[in-house]
Amino acid sequence: MDREKAIATPIKTKEILQKYGFSFKKSLGQNFIIDANILKNIVNKAGVEASNGVIEIGPGIGALTEHLAQHAEKVVAFEIDQRLLPVLGDTLGSYQNIEIIHQDILKANLPEVIEKYFANGQPIKVVANLPYYITTPILMKLLMDRIPVENITVMIQKEVAERMAAKPNTKEYGSLSIAVQYYTEPSIVMSVPKTVFMPQPNVDSSVLQLKMRENPQVFVENEEFFFELVQACFGQRRKTLNNNLSRHFKEKLTKEQITSTLDKINIEGMRRGESLSIEEFASMANEFYQGLNKPCI
């Protein structure tokens, strides 16, 4: 790419913003990247190849989109801000392999979009600079919709990336770690300083890569109940499993029933949620689910 023509430079970005009289909307978490090397590295880390389809969320003025379009066969980008549509038409007009969809990604029918814009069986990746305020809902939608993608590579707030990739017995480990790791193998692949954004956010960023699992990491009888129980165990972080579960199941189970259920699977009730592996959470969820759903005789 000719660096002089790249969108992701301070001069070019300012020029585009002035041309369209664009002002940043804080409510949409708009922070544009002004360093082409960072974008180049993100595309490399994502492993985008010529045969790939790519889904992007929040293209902004097209800085990351143009890098993706130069490496992938097809890029489909979701942009919620109508003011950016003419900007994108201008900055990306020379690319024939980009489709901009004016829609909130949280309301999109992704399987339908994939069927419409990508070839059957085409390897697909998600690559995006996500707005901080809505990172978790977007990622959970992508995971729970079970869309056929190989991996998700996103720039997000550093603290959130650390929580998603966290291991047991760390302060970052919680229900979000379990939810993400149930569906994917997460790893932090890059750190990004706040200085490469316009306007500069108040926090540093990380690039998180989620490699999709063919099957969830553990078997659970009922996914909804599994996630409910995990959240209950982290309800009050400093409380023990006995306390958090008694509070959550107070209408359904006695303290004695909770203790005996935990004893059955050799999990000590005085432990805290942050000490449990995902396998232990699955074992606990399955045992409680079976106990609560035994037919009455």
Residue 265 annotated as binding site:
no
Residue 2 annotated as binding site:
no
- Smallest Cα–Cα separation from 39: which of 22, 63, 62, 61? 63
Residue 34 annotated as binding site:
no
Say if residues 114 and 147 touch (Cβ distance below 8 Å).
yes
Residue 204 annotated as binding site:
no
CA dihedral over 147, 144, 82, 7, signed as positive or negative = negative
- Smallest Cα–Cα separation from 142: which of 114, 100, 175? 114
Give the long-range contacts of residues 286-294, CB within 8 A, separation 24 or more.
Answer: 286/219, 286/220, 286/221, 287/261, 288/225, 288/229, 288/245, 288/249, 288/253, 288/261, 289/220, 289/221, 289/222, 289/225, 289/226, 290/221, 291/253, 291/257, 291/261, 292/252, 292/253
Residue 129 annotated as binding site:
yes
What's the CA gap between 131 and 128, in Å, rounded? 9
Residue 4 annotated as binding site:
no
Residues at the binding site are 31, 33, 58, 79, 104, 129
**Binding positions for S-adenosyl-L-methionine:** 31, 33, 58, 79, 104, 129
